[in-house]
Structure 1
């Protein structure tokens, strides 16, 4: 039976976040996208994923997806064959970040998605991509598709996530830690911190990519993930 790869998108993102990687990797394995929209806590999202996933699988998450992936490792590490943490952090939310999230929830509940997008866009991508209209349309489309209720649930889950740093030293499976070199939200030093804590981790820093590396440099990210999946 082909190995299954479970992908977890980031905040206000859908499976479109991984379109290029799904196309590149699905030939030799089953690729599924986890549902991270129904629950308002990271443990509940992880539990839903585990209920729907096969007994053993490879797991990759970007940003919020990484928070969920680490929670999966907390709940059922024996079921994960290999792990990829993309543009994410093992640290808990800061009080400042939580206050910003509360303000964004208010905008979402008022239907003001354009304002949310305008606030976040400059920090989401590498400076070289800020004028990329097609990329911007994709990101805004995912935000609209997520919707206000799911967006609020996701933000509450992120605000209350655990500190996963104590978990990392116990991870003993092939692990990819990947980050865009221009990621302003979870910068390379955060990725290095995680990679240093995981014994079998490899670190990939993607040039000309920000926080949405899988969209900004799809071929490079797909190549890094293929190497990770084929690692012995």
Structure 2
């Protein structure tokens, strides 16, 4: 009798849990379905289809880096675009579409991302990314340029400033740092209450360890986009999530999904230990534009303000109701700030 009672209780608990999971799944599907039924102005946008002349570069540690040269070949100024963590050069879609008519562009996939080759974990560092950017400038930029970095791409520029300060004011005539940080990323709360944030921060390192050890298994579960990942990305990476295009969210999710789990795990420690605040003084030699979404949870506004304090000559642009992927969520605001930076760089170049 006791055994039957325990089995009955266990069955009831399991049934209730299953019903809860089923209800949550239906709710997610309903929410995503409603979102996708709304008018989507970006539905026909050719994301991932803009292409230039492909180039393969070989780094000092023997890695092949994919880059493309686009735009006006004989333009007096080249714009070099450095993408962020778990993304690719395609994340510059809107900036590339606008700038290619007036400037020479160089876009490249950072090591282990996009079409560039994988590197061992020991070479997944911000310092290595800075060296890779130096290679891109040496090989593909014959004249003056402006370098633009989003998130990890901004950190790449900081690493270059620390390693090759002589380039700034000479070859590099302007810098834009978009939604990035000079350090202390490990202290970010993601907008969560302090206690919850502490629990999340404690849980992340073991999860990263699992991704590193069992990346292939984890990736099999990531291959198909899910309603949960769509909703999470829409909430975390976009500020005005109610109005953001589902097509844009899907586009970003496809780039993240294409980044192997081992790569995500390998770069995570480098991002958490990143500290380049003392290298920023070099940027005072050139026009600098700092751009950040007001609601950025991943590289919060305070981090851009800290950069601006270290580079008092810089112009800080805060984009309201926008989060980490500001260049995709509010491309017009970002493009306007970049155009102004490029004009300043051109004036100082004459």
Task: Normalising by structure 1, report the TM-score.
Answer: 0.87
Matched with 1:89 is: 181
Show the counterpart of 1:42. 126
Pairing 1:27–2:119 present = no
Are 1:144 and 2:264 matched, yes or no?
A: no
Aligned with residue 100 of structure 1, among 204, 207, 211: 204
The alignment's C-alpha RMSD in Å is 2.6
CA contact (8 A) 1:37 1:150 kept: no
> Any idea what SS the aligned residue of 1:128 has?
coil
Q: 1:129 to 1:67 in 2, by over 3 A?
A: farther
Q: Aligned pair 1:67/2:141, yes or no?
A: no
Residue deviations 1:144-203 (CA, integer Å, cap 9, x gap): 222334333332432342x11112234221100000111112222221221121032001
Q: Which of 69, 83, 88 is matched with 1:9 structurally?
A: 83
By how many angstroms is 1:14 displaced?
1.1
Q: 1:115-162 CA distances to partner (integer Å, 9 max, x unpaired)?
A: 89465552211143476421210111111222334333332432342x
Question: 2:287–2:314: 8 Å Cα contact kept in structure 1?
Answer: yes
Aligned partners of 1:194, 1:134: CA distance in 2, in Å?
Answer: 32
**2: CA distance, partners of 1:220 / 1:176:** 12
Structure 1 pair 209/76, CA: closer, same or farther in 2 (3 Å)?
same
Q: CA deviation at 1:72?
A: 1.1
CA displacement 1:60-110 (0-9 Å, x = unmatched): 111111111111111112322211110011114327759626525634822
TM, length-normalised to structure 2: 0.60
Aligned length, in residue pairs: 231
Residue 254 of structure 2 aligns to a residue whose secondary structure is helix
- The one of the two structures with greater contact order (alpha-carbon pairs below 8 A, sep at least 6) is 1
- Segments of 5+ residues of structure 1 without an aligned counterpart are none
